[in-house]
Amino acid sequence: MSHGNRDGLPPNLRREWLSASADCHGDDSNIFTLMNYNILADCHIKDGWYPYCPQGFLKMSDRHRALMLEIKHHDPHIVCLQEVGPDYFAHQLNPEMHSLGYHGTYMKKVRGVMEGEATFYKKNRFEMLEEKGVVFNELAAKACEKAKLSDEAQESVLSYVNQDHLVLLTKLQDIKTKKRVSIGNTHLLFGDYKNIDVITLQAGLAINALGEFAGGPEHAHILCGDFNQEPNMTGYQLMHDGKLDANGEQFIRQYPIKIGSESKSLLDILPLCFKHNLPGLKSAYKTVAGQESPFSDVDDCVGAEWSADMVELPAQISKPYPPKRPRKPYLTDPKKYGDSKFIASLDYQWFDSESLCCYGVLEMVDEREIFPFYACPNEYFPSDHLPIIGKYKFM
C-alpha cells in the first residue's frame, strides 16, 4: 500500500497514511481496507453547474477513468460508493470492477431518483453471506407502528419524512479468518440543511438498521457513507454519542410537525430513533487523527466566485510537492476558500471498536492541491467529494 514518490503522482493521489497507536499493530495479514466515496451522479448536475470543470471532465463517463485510477491506486478490499447511476453501474463501473476482482451489489434510490449505493468487495478476501437494501421510509413506518401512533399521526410523520434515501447492508466473511463484518453503505438527505431533524432521524435509522442486520452490537460492523452532517451538527452527535445532549434536543424541537391541532417534533414523536445501542461505534478518522478530516467535499456548484483567470495552468501542478504545514481543522486558507465554496467534512466511517481496531486512515489531500483548479470536480478530482479510506483489523 506504499505510495512511493508523492511528487510523481497526480494531485488527487498525493495522500499518506496516518497510523493508529501501537496497541493496534500486529499481524498485518488480518488487515482490510475500506474506501468510502460519493462519486457525484450525473442526475445531480444541472445545466451550467461546475463551470470551472474543464470540458470533457464533467460527465460520469468522462470522470470514470480518474475514479478507476483512484480505486486501482489504493486497491481497497471493500469499496462503498454513493450517487452511482444505474446505467453507469451496469455498463461501465461493475464490469470494470469485476475485472479487478471485485463483486458488486447495488440498490437504486426510490421515488425515481436515478442513483443509489454500490458496495464492492475483493472476492479473494471476502465472501458475501447476506445483502439487504432498506429504504428509510420503510424504517420510519416501522418506527411509527412500534410507537403505536394514531393513523393521523403516522400519516403526518411519514409525509414529513418522505425521502428517497436508503442504507445498503452487506454481511461479509473473511475467507482467511472466517470472521464476519457487516457493512452499511448510506447517503443521507442534504436539502441545503433545511430539515436537520430528518437527517438526524435518518442517521439513527441507519445505525439501528445496521445493528439489527449485524445481529447485535457484539458483531463487527461499519457504517460508512455521505452523512451530510458536519461535526457540529445533531446527526453527527447522535452517531458519535449514541444520543443527543440537551442542546441537540432543543435544536431538533425547532422543527414542529402539525398533527391535528397539536405540533410536535420528530424527537418527541419517535424518541427511540434519536438514540442507538451500538456502544462501540467510533469515527475512524477521529480515532486515529484526533479530529475529523478537515474536509471531504470541496465544491462551488454554481461557480459564483469562479473565473478562468483564477485557475493556474495545470502544468504548474507538476511542481515539487510543497512542504507540509501543520493541519488545522476547516479554514486553513480563508482567502482561497472564498465565500461561496462549500467545503466541509461530510463523509465518515463509523466502526465497531469492540470487534475491530482501526489501524490507520488515509490523510486528506492538502487543499493546496485542489485550489489551483478552484474546486472539485476537475480533471484530476472526479467528484465534488473526496474518498476516505480506513484500515481495519479484526480483534
Residue 30: per-residue pLDDT: 86
* Mean pLDDT in residue range 16-32: 79
Sequential DSSP letters for 69-118 = HHHHHH--SEEEEEEE-HHHIIIIIHHHHHHTTEEEEEEE-STT-S-EEE
Task: Tell me if the bond preceding 377 is cis, omega within 30° of 0.
Answer: yes
Residue 326: per-residue pLDDT: 32
Bridge partners of 390, per DSSP, are 34, 361
Residue 8: per-residue pLDDT: 85
pLDDT at 36 > cutoff 80: yes
Q: Which three cell numbers stand for residue 361?
A: 486512515
Q: What share of the chain is helix, strand, coil (3-state, %, to 5)?
A: 35, 25, 40
Give which of 165, 76, 152 is closest to 117, Cα–Cα. 165
Contact 356, 220 (CB under 8 A): yes
CA–CA separation, 271 and 275 (whole Å): 7
The values of phi and psi at residue 317, to 5°, are -75, -20
Contact 371, 334 (CB under 8 A): no
* Mean pLDDT in residue range 314-331: 37
Residue 27: per-residue pLDDT: 67
pLDDT grade for 257, boundaries at 50, 70 and 90: very high
* Mean pLDDT in residue range 268-292: 96
CA–CA separation, 66 and 210 (whole Å): 31
Lowest mean pLDDT among 45-54, 157-166, 340-349, 351-360: 340-349
277 vs 77, 132, 208, 239, 334, CA distance in Å? Answer: 28, 21, 7, 10, 39
Q: What percent of the chain has pLDDT over 90?
A: 81
Contact 24, 356 (CB under 8 A): no
pLDDT grade for 303, boundaries at 50, 70 and 90: confident
Residue 329: per-residue pLDDT: 36
pLDDT at 288 > cutoff 60: yes
Residue 389: per-residue pLDDT: 99
Specify the 3-state DSSP secondary structure of 315.
Answer: helix
Residue 133: per-residue pLDDT: 98
pLDDT at 315 > cutoff 60: no
Residue 41: per-residue pLDDT: 98
pLDDT at 330 > cutoff 70: no
Specify the 3-state DSSP secondary structure of 146.
Answer: helix
pLDDT at 331 > cutoff 60: no
pLDDT at 138 > cutoff 90: yes
pLDDT at 201 > cutoff 90: yes
Residue 29: per-residue pLDDT: 77
Higher-scoring residue by pLDDT: 197, 338: 197
* Mean pLDDT in residue range 5-27: 80
pLDDT at 336 > cutoff 80: no
Residue type, 95: P
Residue 309: per-residue pLDDT: 54
Residue 325: per-residue pLDDT: 31
CA–CA separation, 241 and 218 (whole Å): 18
Residue 6: per-residue pLDDT: 60
Give which of 335, 309, 239, 237 is closest to 278, Cα–Cα. 239
Specify the 3-state DSSP secondary structure of 257.
Answer: strand
With 0-12 / 13-18 / 19 or more C-beta atoms within 10 angstroms meaning exposed / middle / buried, residue 22 is exposed
Residue 26: per-residue pLDDT: 55
pLDDT digits (tens, 9 = 90+) for 204-254: 999 999 999 999 999 999 999 999 999 999 999 999 999 999 999 999 999
Residue 64: per-residue pLDDT: 98
Quote the distance between the C-alpha of residue 79 and its chain's center: 11
* Plot region of 91 (φ>0 → left; ψ -120 to 50 → alpha; else → beta): alpha
* Long-range contacts of residues 306-311, Cβ cutoff 8 Å, at least 24 apart: 306/51, 306/52, 306/374, 306/375, 310/374, 311/52, 311/372, 311/373, 311/374
Residue 341: per-residue pLDDT: 80
**In the block, residue with C-alpha cell 447476506:** 130
The values of phi and psi at residue 207, to 5°, are -65, -45
With 0-12 / 13-18 / 19 or more C-beta atoms within 10 angstroms meaning exposed / middle / buried, residue 199 is buried
Specify the 3-state DSSP secondary structure of 393.
Answer: strand
Max Cα-Cα span within the chain: 66
pLDDT grade for 339, boundaries at 50, 70 and 90: low
Residue 302: per-residue pLDDT: 85
Domain ranges of the chain: 6-394
Specify the 3-state DSSP secondary structure of 184.
Answer: strand
* Mean pLDDT in residue range 61-67: 98
pLDDT digits (tens, 9 = 90+) for 86-104: 999 999 999 999 999 999 9
CA–CA separation, 90 and 87 (whole Å): 5
CATH architecture of 6-394: 4-Layer Sandwich (3.60)
CA–CA separation, 295 and 386 (whole Å): 8
